[in-house]
Amino acid sequence: MLRLRLAVPIFAFVLSTMAVALPSITSAADGATGVIIHDGGDPTTWGYTPASTTIAAGQTVTWTNSGAFAHDAAATDGSWKTPLLDAGASGTVTFANPGTYTYICTPHPWMLGTIVVTAAVSAAAPVPAAPVDPPVSVAPPVPSTPDVLAPAASDPTATQPADDTAPPADPGN
Ligand SMILES: [Cu+2]
């Protein structure tokens, strides 16, 4: 019994530590969440490396401008874009919905890239049942339910007098 009581908080602590460490492990392991923007030389060779990046829904892509000119990454369907990134700057976009997104550089639209977002694989992250076209579909906040506490307050066993401790009725009253 004592072991179990000790093990639960330790397990919870390990879980919380893993939750913090996991994102950096993921990005380091697959190397797929970083895109380098490059320019220099013939402008027709400017672009994104890798040109196609595959991530899972909910993950974030970081574009880093290694070139000398300002660039961005802007979805051709207009659904997302990074800020215009000066040389050395980075910008991130988090992709909630699966899909294939082609993108360009706004000032240099011949620069092309693709982000492929697959269905989320992590069981830890709650995922909507299906991707929805409107980008924002926020469920109304669920109010806290005070009803949850009501049954405990009216616990029938708490109101029953215990026979062995109840004083006898006073007939002389
Ligand atoms: Cu550009």
pLDDT in tens, 87-116: 999 999 999 999 999 999 999 999 999 999
CA of 99 to the centre of ligand 1 (A): 24
* Span 38-73, pLDDT tens digits: 999 999 999 999 999 999 999 999 999 999 999 999
Q: Is 75 exposed, middle or buried (0-12, 13-18, 19+ CB in 10 A)?
A: middle
Length of the chain: 173
Higher confidence at residue 64 or residue 11? 64
Three-state DSSP state, 58 = coil
CA of 119 to the centre of ligand 1 (A): 30
Question: What is the per-residue DSSP string for 114-162?
Answer: EEEEEPP--SSS---SS--SSS--PPPPPPP-GGGGHHHHT-HHHHSPP
| Reported confidence tier of residue 10, pLDDT bands at 50, 70, 90 | very low
Measured distance CA(33)–CA(51) in Å, rounded: 12
Q: What is the set of domains in the chain, with CATH numbers?
A: 31-118 (2.60.40.420)
Q: Would the pLDDT of 166 be above 60?
A: no
| Reported confidence tier of residue 120, pLDDT bands at 50, 70, 90 | confident
Average pLDDT, the chain: 75
Residue 104: strand pairing partners: 74, 112
Q: Is the backbone of residue 34 left (phi > 0), alpha (psi -120 to 50) or beta?
A: beta
pLDDT at 12: 47
CA of 105 to the centre of ligand 1 (A): 5
From the DSSP assignment, how many helices (H) and strands (E) are in the chain?
A: 3, 8
| Omega of the bond leading into 156 within 30 degrees of 0 (cis) | no
CA of 52 to the centre of ligand 1 (A): 16
Three-state DSSP state, 78 = coil
Two structure tokens written together for 93: 């976009």
Mean pLDDT of 79-92: 97
Two structure tokens written together for 29: 């392991």
CA of 93 to the centre of ligand 1 (A): 17
pTM (2 decimals)?
0.54
pLDDT at 140: 65
CA of 91 to the centre of ligand 1 (A): 13
> Strand 99-104 vs strand 60-65: parallel, antiparallel, or unpaired?
unpaired
Residue with tokens 């092309």: 112
